[in-house]
Structure 1
């Protein structure tokens, strides 16, 4: 028995980019052995994303977070002898993850029926952009297209109806989708524990985008006519973004007008606002939101964010700073909760998977592998001769 809750599990990551592989990464955090299958020479195409961004440093930060803990086996799956190696691994694996387009799966013999026939206890995990069926079954897609744009999220988060839609950041929909895939795999493993049988689990970027946007999608399903987000000054001032004297932005978020408006007015030292006849009902406050926004803009611009953090915290007002990436490095709250974890033997931090299990300790992350770093050892493990290893490029 190795280290970690899942130390007896073998996961084959035969996927590319982020969402599918990241589900395997979470399993590896709890000790699962994950073998990453990637093409010789070029590796997983996800490796190219770092190069395309023109980053001058030599540490691929994309690969570091999503491929940690894994063993890389370089196989050209167009070759029968390479597929034979994969089949040997599948026969003793617990989970097989893929997101290859269906035409490629069919060509390489990676469909569920092909892989599961080798191992009835295997969990076959399939990720697609748009689902397993329908006219778009074979379409390629990324989280930017299938999760962010297609789901309506891209359209609905515009600052105003006239604002151009914003593109998503890399992995923004992939990592949440990975958690859905992880959940599906664990559900199937639990069923296997009860029945002894493996199975097939599926999820898609589009399904997860719809789930992320479910509140608004449900409204549409029930026939509600959703209006575009109103511009600043036409929406509640107690749910707005403001700028401070040190040029930081933060958001106030309230849900109970009867409690939150009086609390905010008192916290800011303006109890007279509560007597203003223009603001004595939620409806009037919305109608005159531009007045309140103007007052708050002027007030918040006079002091730095740390001042307002203390004032709003003392008044029990829900608020949050608009975080900037480098804030996280020195964030005491992040450090106190261990949301970053140190990579073994490298002294580098990486983003931890987003949950803990009481009584279970995650393994310390290992650095993501180079292309084919573990090929020889794995090929020897499945019984390949030195000549076969050489022929496979190991």
Structure 2
């Protein structure tokens, strides 16, 4: 797609693992030139973070997934030569991102105030685990730990279950997306006011913001929202909201009035409960629904529910999902060619601009793959850092 919205924007990504690199991935999808600044020999620690022990050459499949469409330069920040190259890059850059613990970039003279002396219009975006101050600032900012300490694990699963984490790195991805929001907002302001910006996020703040509905109810009545004991879907919502086993699988049913539901699925037993008492009696109602819905197959119930305009869907695993016409219509998959006949399939950017999806099938860079190119640019052989096509 020509004329991507961030063409001409250069991002220096000091970030590693997931949160910062996921922000860089989206910026690259939007057309920015994202240059990973990595340690010699080791590089981004995410290169060795393998999921299910899946590797592509010397790097993890996860690294390739989250770092496609970027460039890589290695620089030793402990010596003058490495810092000199970084300073030259900073002069030409628009954005810097990092997700190191507080104090790391200061140690190398690459904190916001120092960088601002080199490039007065820089957008400087950071992610920490728990903020830059306070008793938790030096704790490890790892996704599962953030889910645990933030209360999120008490929103999933049923009442008698142990705390249940999300099955993905939700804090990392939410925080990365919010970093992109902050960067784009700052770029717009810089276009109008020519001002730099320091954008600071933490995984903890992002995961708390993610729970704003639940936390607002807690702030109001000082009571922790309780998970329902049966088919919990959301601790704030009345039945039937949840997932139920059917005769051949599972079905998800969203919000609807009990009388409408009773008519749709011929379950008069739930009418002994009044709608205004549904939340208080949710487990008793869900017990009735559980026993009723197991008697027929999922599609049998879906037809009845949809006939009554009730929001319901069958529950699919990924193998089943890929066979569905609705999924195929989206074209969510894109192929990343790695050379030497190798490739893998990943998801594309979900955003459509001017009728076109943002496809960016360029592979992740090898460690230091653009060293010579970028060093030549910094030495003056090329006077501008051109955006990637």
TM-score normalized with structure 2 length: 0.85
Contact 2:73–2:368 (CA under 8 A) maintained in structure 1? yes
Deviates more, 1:104-113 or 1:279-288: 279-288
**Equivalent in the alignment of 1:31:** 31
Q: Distance in 2 between matches of 1:288 and 1:197?
A: 53
Query: Aligned pair 1:279/2:277, yes or no?
Result: no
Query: Deviation digits for residues 146-200 of structure 1, max 9, x if unmatched?
Result: 3x1222111332411x321123434222111111000000010011011012211
Superposed, which structure 2 residues align to 1:183-332 within 5 Å?
Answer: 183-232=181-230, 236-246=238-248, 248-254=249-255, 256=256, 260-270=257-267, 272-273=268-269, 276=271, 278-283=272-277, 287=281, 289-290=283-284, 292-332=285-325
Cα distance, 1:288–1:101 mapped onto 2, change above 3 Å: closer
**Structure 1 residues 333 and 197 mapped into 2: Cα distance closer, same or farther (>3 Å)?**
same
In 2, Cα distance between equivalents of 1:284 and 1:136: 41
- Cα distance in 2 for partners of 1:80, 1:327 equals 55
Residue 384 of structure 2 is matched in structure 1 by none
Paired positions, count:
373
- Aligned twin of 2:44: 44
Q: SS where residue 170 of structure 2 aligns? A: coil
CA deviations over 1:67-108 (Å, ceiling 9, x no partner): 010011122222221111111111101100011112321222
* 3-state SS, counterpart of residue 28 of structure 1: helix
CA distance in 1, matches of 2:199, 2:351: 22
SS at match of 2:96: strand
SS of the residue corresponding to residue 17 of structure 2 reads: coil
**Contiguous gaps of at least 5 residues in structure 2:** 382-389
Deviations 1:218-266 (Å, cap 9, x if unpaired)? 23333432353231289954123211222x2232121x5xxx3222222
2:351 aligned partner: 355
Stretches of structure 1 lacking an aligned partner (at least 5 in a row): 386-394
Q: CA deviation at 1:56?
A: 6.8
RMSD: 2.9
* Alpha-carbon distance between aligned partners in 2 of 1:77 and 1:251, rounded to the nearest angstrom: 52
Give the whole-Å Cα distance in 2 for the aligned partners of 1:61 and 1:325.
18
In structure 2, distance between residues paired with 1:318 and 1:153: 26
Q: Is the 8 A contact 2:349 2:358 kept in 1?
A: no
